[in-house]
Structure 1
Amino acid sequence: MTLDLRGGTALITGASSGIGAEFARRFAGRGSDLVLVARRADRLEELASELRTTAGVRVDVVSADLAVSGAADALHAELTQRGIRVTSLVNNAGFGTHGAFDHSDPARATSEIQLNVGTLVELSRAFIPQLLAGNGALVTVASTAAYQPIPGMAVYGATKAFVLSFTEALWAEAQGTGLRVLAVSPGSTRTEFFDVVGTDDASVGRQQTAGDVVDTAFRELDRNRSRPSVISGRVNHLMAVGTRLLSRRAAALTSARVLGDVRMGGQRAVDTSARASAK
């Protein structure tokens, strides 16, 4: 059964590019008004202008840095002041850091956890009463990084494991309501994520497009009995499921070899980072 989004309003974070922008186009294409949130106001306005013309929907833009504490409450207050009620929420904003943990920036790691986990939870809690009153969707963008340890991206992988577990739990709690809850896990995806990271060490296999990822999400949301989570791409699915056959020790060491064998203690000190729409 196709998810009917007409007459609703979807709040999409990290909407200035990549997966977030593609979610915006799909929601608009199904007749949903939009609230687009990201730091880059110019990019948001460009997308908003496009969708107002092509889809004929209302599009509100909010420029905000969601990686700071209190950002979720501030956004909720802003939309309340504008008289906007949210019926769908796509928690897409996030960023990753790459490098040996002993060379990482503590402040950046704190921001990474705040955006990928803290703000995601806070936004979900702030808007859940409105979501439950409608018939929309709560979607989170996790990652195949959620399915095994990620040496060289230890914080990022851990945050995405949280997102996956958190969303699957909310899926169970939402049974019997009109709200559809889904975590979609992309693998390597052609977005600005790796351009800003400055390394392809964390990219494994063929990269999908943002459209591929959003196609996967909507196919699941349209099912009569949708699952709590889905992995985008058959190869990504096989790789993620395959880690269950390994011991935790073997999974960590295998991931380390695949992802460039980043180590602490100066053996291969790399410190690059990214802030972009979540992969």
Structure 2
Amino acid sequence: MTSSATPAETSALITGATAGIGAEMARQLAEQGHNVILVARDDARLQARAAELQDRYGIRAEVLAADLAEDGGVAAVVARLADPSRPVEILVNNAGFGLLQSFAENDIADEKRHLKLHVETAMELTHAALQGMLERRSGRIINVASVAAFLPRETYSAAKAWLVSFSRWANIAYAARGVKVTAVCPGFTRTEFHDRMGMDKTVPPRWMWLEAERVVREGLADNARGKAVSVPTKRYKVLLAAARILPSRLVAGPPRRAK
């Protein structure tokens, strides 16, 4: 029988929860009444974010400092997800980073770390979360991908394409068993993401930039409805529809430029 747990009885674990889309995911889920488990590398920022959410929304906020590009960090989060005494009803795989240079110019160690975080870590955490969710016949998994998944844009696109394909399959495989899986695919979003990779944010036109609040609001709503893929805003839905019929060289876009 499907669980009828109310938000006050459920917990959501969010990776990359100290900034950007991850922080907004945590905020909106807390606003809905879910307790939250915040995962990121910076313990001080995690503690500050947890205190803010607890004070503002009256929920419980737990912190777990972990580097999800490292095996030890992944193992710590897997252990938390696998704890039957503290079930996690919602998993948000959001942690990630971008690489500014082209594939041939990047250090292969950075490329491997990038691939691990976006693909292997998301897969491991999803596998861990699914065990309890399937037993309870209730759960939600949100994989933060990107519209880049549908475009030829370096290894970031390849990693996000894997995440979209995996989410589509998992949603089909587990929906009948009470688990909804959604790949949320935003376009350019105003967060720390592009600043951290050192990208010149004046290259994309202003109309292409989205706010994290809207991306998350539409993504959570699509997940609640059981959609396998969520592309926030009509403008990006139209862009992707056009991208499907245009030559790859036209939709790849200009190369990223440093600040």
TM-score, length-scaled by structure 2: 0.90
Cα distance in 2 for partners of 1:131, 1:13 equals 18
The one-letter amino acid paired with 1:166 is F
Match for 1:164: what amino acid? V
Q: Which moved more, 1:132-141 or 1:115-124?
A: 132-141
CA separation of 1:78/1:10 partners in 2, compared to 1, >3 Å: closer, same or farther?
closer
1:39 to 38, 41, 48: 41
**Corresponding position of 2:50:** 48
In structure 1, distance between residues paired with 2:204 and 2:37: 31
C-alpha separation in 1, matches of 2:182 and 2:189 = 19
Residue 92 of structure 1 corresponds to: 94
TM-aligned CA deviation for residue 113 of structure 1: 0.3
Which amino acid is the alignment partner of residue 254 of structure 2? L
Equivalents in 2 of 1:155, 1:122: separation in Å?
A: 20
C-alpha contact 1:69 1:114 (8 A) present in aligned 2: no
* Corresponding position of 1:255: 251
Task: Give the root-mean-square deviation of aligned CA atoms.
Answer: 2.2
Q: Give the Cα–Cα distance (whole angstroms) in 1 for the partners of residues 119 and 17 of structure 2.
A: 17
Once the two structures are TM-superposed, the CA of residue 78 in structure 1 deviates from its matched residue by 4.7
CA drift at 1:144 = 0.3
Per mean C-alpha deviation after superposition, the further-off stretch among 202-211 and 59-68 is: 202-211
* 1:214-225 correspondence to structure 2 within 5 Å: 214-223=216-225
Structure 2 runs not aligned, ≥5 long = none
2:88 and 2:171 mapped to 1: Cα distance? Answer: 18
Separation in 1 of the partners of 2:81 and 2:235?
Answer: 40
Unaligned 5+ residue runs, structure 1? 263-269, 273-279
- The alpha carbon displacement at 1:81 in A equals 6.7
Asked if 1:126 is matched to 2:122, the reply is no
- Between the two proteins, what is the percent identity of the paired residues? 35
Return the TM-score normalized by structure 1: 0.83
Instruction: Give the 3-state SS of the residue equivalent to 1:93 in structure 2.
Output: coil
Counterpart amino acid of residue 159 in structure 2: T
* 1:186 match: 186
How far has the Cα of 1:98 moved from its partner? 1.9
Give secondary structure in 2 for the equivalent of 1:6: helix
Letter in 2 for 1:237: K
Question: What letter is aligned with 2:31?
Answer: G
Cα distance in 1 between the residues matched to 2:17 and 2:73: 16
Change (3 A) 1:169 1:99: same
Q: Which amino acid aligns with 2:150?
A: Y
- Distance of 1:4 and 1:26 partners within structure 2: 15
Amino acid in the other structure paired with 2:145 = A
Q: Structure 1 residues 70, 118: CA separation in 2 closer, same or farther (over 3 Å shift)?
A: farther
Report the counterpart of residue 10 of structure 2 in structure 1: 8
The offset of 1:175, in angstroms, is 2.2
- Is contact 2:54-2:60 (8 Å) kept? yes
What letter is aligned with 1:195? D
Query: How has the CA–CA distance of structure 1 residues 172 and 79 changed in structure 2, closer, same or farther, with 3 Å as cutoff?
Result: closer
One-letter amino acid of the structure 2 residue matched with residue 179 of structure 1: V
Whether contact under 8 Å (1:144, 1:186) holds in the other structure is: yes
1:108 to 110, 121, 142: 110
Aligned length: 252
Aligned to 1:245: 245
- Contact 2:82–2:131 under 8 Å retained in 1: no
* Of 74, 77, 98, the match for 1:75: 77
Greater displacement, 74-83 / 175-184: 74-83
Q: Which residue of 1 aligns with 2:232?
A: 232
Larger RCO: 1 or 2 (CA < 8 Å, sep 6+): 1
Q: In 2, are the aligned partners of 1:4 and 1:30 still within 8 Å (CA)?
A: no
Distance of 2:169 and 2:81 partners within structure 1: 27
2:119 is aligned with what amino acid? Answer: V
Q: Structure 2 vs 1, CA of residues 166 and 181 (structure 1 numbering), >3 Å: closer, same or farther?
A: same
Query: How far apart are residue 73 of structure 1 and its match?
Result: 2.6
Structure 2 counterpart of 1:149: 152
- Matched AA of 1:184: V
Q: Which amino acid aligns with 1:128?
A: L
What secondary structure is seen at the aligned counterpart in 2 of 1:103? coil
